[in-house]
A and B are shown apart, each in its own frame.
Chain A
Amino acid sequence: MTRNVIIAGVGGQGILTIASIIDMAAMHAGLKVKQAEVHGMSQRGGEVQSHLRISDKEIYSDLIPLGQADLILAVEPMEALRYVPYLSENGAIVTCSEPFVNIPNYPDTQDIYSELKKAAKDVILVDASAIARQLGNPKSYNIVMLGAAAKYTGIDNADYEWSIKELFGKKGQEIVDLNIKAFYNK
Chain B
Amino acid sequence: MNEQLLLGAEAVATAAIDAGISGVYAYPGTPSTEITEFIQKSKDARQRNVRAKWSANEKTAYEAALGMSYAGKRSLVCMKHVGLNVAADAYINSAVTGVNGGMVVVVADDPSMHSSQNEQDTRVYGKFALLPLLEPSNQQEAYDIVRYAFDYSEEIKLPVVLRLTTRISHSRAVVKRAPMSDMNSLNPDTDKRKWILLPANARNQYAALVDKQSVLTANSENSIFNKVIEGTSSKAVIAFGIAFNYVMEVKERENLDISVLKVSQYPLPHKQIAEFLSKYDDILIAEEGYPVYEELLRGFSDNEKLRGRLDGALPRMGELNPDHLAKALGVDMPEIAVASSIIVNRPPALCKGCSHRDLFESLTAAMSEYEHKHVFSDIGCYTLGALKPFEAISTCVDMGASITMAKGAAEAGVAPAVAVIGDSTFTHSGMTGLLDCVNDKTPVTVIISDNATTAMTGGQDSSGTNKLYDICKGLGVEPEHIVTFVPLKSNLEANIEMIKKELDYDGVSVILACRECVQVAARNKKNKA
Contacts and interface: CB of A to CB of B under 8 A. Distances in A.
B336 A106 contact: no
Nearest to A44: B348
Contact of A45 (B7, B321, B344, B346): B346
Given A33-B174, A107-B343, A61 B30 contact: no
Contacts of A105: 344
Contacts of B47: none
Contacts of A27: 5, 174
Interface in B260-312: none
Nearest to A78: B343
Interface in A78-94: 78-79, 81-82, 84-85, 87, 89
A169 interface: no
A138 interface: no
A51 to B, nearest CB: 8
Interface stretch (A111-119, A129-137, A140-148): A111-119
Contacts of A40: 30-31, 114-115, 456-457
B211 interface: no
Interface range on chain A (Cβ under 8 Å from partner): 35 or more
A178 interface: no
B444 interface: no
Given A62-B242, A103-B344, A111-B342, A41 B115 contact: yes
B5 A39 contact: no
B245 A39 contact: no
B350 interface: yes
Interface of B: 5, 7, 30-31, 33-34, 114-115, 167-168, 170-174, 242, 244-246, 248-249, 252-253, 321-323, 326, 333-340, 342-351, 381, 384, 388, 456-458
B501 to A, nearest CB: 32
A43 interface: yes
B5 A33 contact: yes
Given A43-B348, A102-B349, A115 B340 contact: yes
B170 A39 contact: yes
B34 A39 contact: yes
A34 B339 contact: no
Contacts, number: 146
A81 B321 contact: no
Given A36-B167, A46-B346, A82-B339, A65 B456 contact: no
20 contacts: A27-B174, A33-B5, A33-B174, A35-B5, A36-B170, A37-B172, A38-B114, A38-B170, A39-B31, A44-B348, A44-B349, A44-B384, A60-B244, A61-B246, A62-B167, A65-B321, A65-B323, A78-B344, A87-B337, A115-B340
A84 B339 contact: yes
B523 to A, nearest CB: 12
B13 to A, nearest CB: 15
A102 B472 CA distance: 38
Interface string A9-24: 0110000000000011
A63 B350 CA distance: 28
A107 B249 CA distance: 36
A65 B322 contact: yes
A140 B168 CA distance: 30
Nearest to B344: A105
A181 interface: no
Contact of B337 (A61, A63, A85): A85
Contacts of A115: 340, 342
Given A40-B456, A41-B115, A102-B349, 5 more contacts: A44-B456, A51-B171, A62-B167, A81-B342, A102-B346
